[in-house]
Structure 1
Amino acid sequence: MRLTMYTDFSLRVLIYLGTKEPEKLTTIQEISDAYNISKNHLTKVTFELGKAGFIQTVRGRGGGIRLADLPQQINVGTVVRKMEDDFHLVECFNSATNRCPISSICGLRGALGKALNAYLSVLDEYTLEDLMFNREGLREILQT
């Protein structure tokens, strides 16, 4: 199983913001510079993170973004579920587009479905705080 780059960037944004003081605003440009990621990509990511309630956005001069909750309250499994566009691991996971002739008698869908549930279940055990166990090291590398 593989996360999209979109979800990877989403988690990186949250980690970056988690290294900051809760009230401090950060710009997308700062995050873009720290990770060497396109500002345009991060703009889309932060828009979705805001819509999903993971970050707060403040518009205007002196504006920026910050976490909407404390890092220990942001569940990694929830973030992944909200940011991934689908979990169609194989064709038969999507009933609208499935053309596989053996899907009605094949065990692949069940096995992969069970694996996906286990994968997400493990992610549910972690919070953003858990991902930042070396906060000082992160601050040093990201120069926050």
Structure 2
Amino acid sequence: MLLGLHALGELAKEPDECLTTQQVAAAIGTSEPHLSKVLQRLNKGGLVKSVRGPGGGYRLNCVPSETPLYPIFELLGGPFESRGCRLDGCRGKKCFIGDMMDELSRAFFRYLESRTLADFTSYYIHGTDVSIEISVITPSLGQKHPGFGHIN
């Protein structure tokens, strides 16, 4: 999944140019065979376009400001769903860890829905800060944003 986002970031640097799998792989530091499979998936999903022949390769085939991140994550990694705690002892019971994982997953989902490929590209190219605020309420402690600074 992350490899696909990095590939999109590279292609978005020069959206009208074609880059070969070799060029993208060298830029992001990965193997060509693995990247080739990811680029094929992005091509099937319509996010990139494969151009054959001399000067061919892949180029961006979407408008970054109109392309939300959430469907990209699903295209590259499958359905996005929280699974909570999967230990046998917790099934059917209330589990603090599982509930926390579910809430963090929902916050990440909301974040992905609110951001576009243009936001990611800005970060990728310019190092723009990324921020996400997660409000944590721990019912068992009755505190919002508990201080865990004392834990090593």
Which category describes the TM-score, using the shorter chain as reference length? 0.7 to 0.9
- Cα drift, residue 85 of structure 1: 4.0
- Matching of residues 21-32 of structure 1 within 5 Å: 21-22=15-16, 24-32=17-25
Distance in structure 2 (CA, Å) of the matches to 1:53 and 1:110: 35
For 2:78 and 2:121, how far apart are their aligned partners in 1? 25
The residue number in structure 1 matching 2:5 is: 11
How big is the shift at 1:110?
A: 4.1
Cα 1:82/1:91, change in 2 over 3 Å: farther
Deviation per residue, 1:90-126 (Å, 9 max, x gap) = 563xxxxxx7143112334444223212111112211
1:120 aligns with 2:114: no
With over 3 angstroms needed to count, the CA separation of the structure-2 counterparts of 1:119 and 1:104, relative to structure 1, is same
Give 1:104's aligned residue. 92
For residues 91 and 137 of structure 1, what CA distance do their matches in structure 2 show? 37
Correspondence list, 1:63-102, <5 A: 63-85=56-78, 87=81, 89=83, 92=86, 100-102=88-90
- Asked whether 1:20 is paired with 2:8, we answer no
State whether residues 103 and 109 of structure 1, in contact with CA within 8 Å, keep that contact through their aligned partners in structure 2. Answer: no
Q: Which moved more, 1:121-130 or 1:81-90?
A: 81-90
Gap regions ≥5 residues in structure 2: 128-152
Query: What is the TM-score normalised by the length of structure 2?
Result: 0.69
Q: Give ranges in structure 1 of 5+ residues lacking alignment.
A: 1-6, 93-98, 139-144
Give the 4+ runs in structure 1 shifted more than 6 A: none
Of stretches 79-88 and 47-56 in structure 1, the one that deviates more from structure 2 is: 79-88
Secondary structure at the aligned position of 2:93 is classed as coil
Q: Does the alignment pair 1:43 with 2:32?
A: no
Name the CA shift for 1:21/1:55 in 2 (closer, same or farther; >3 Å). closer
Q: Is the 8 A contact 2:69 2:115 kept in 1?
A: yes
Identity level (%): 22
Task: Point out which structure has higher relative CO (alpha carbons under 8 A, 6+ apart).
Answer: 1
* Cα distance, 1:39 vs structure 2: 0.7
Deviations 1:35-84 (A, max 9, x none): 22111111011011112221111233432111111211221122112211
Structure number with larger C-alpha Rg: 2
1:95 is aligned to: none
The alignment yields a C-alpha RMSD, in angstroms, of 2.5
Q: TM-score, normalised by structure 1?
A: 0.72
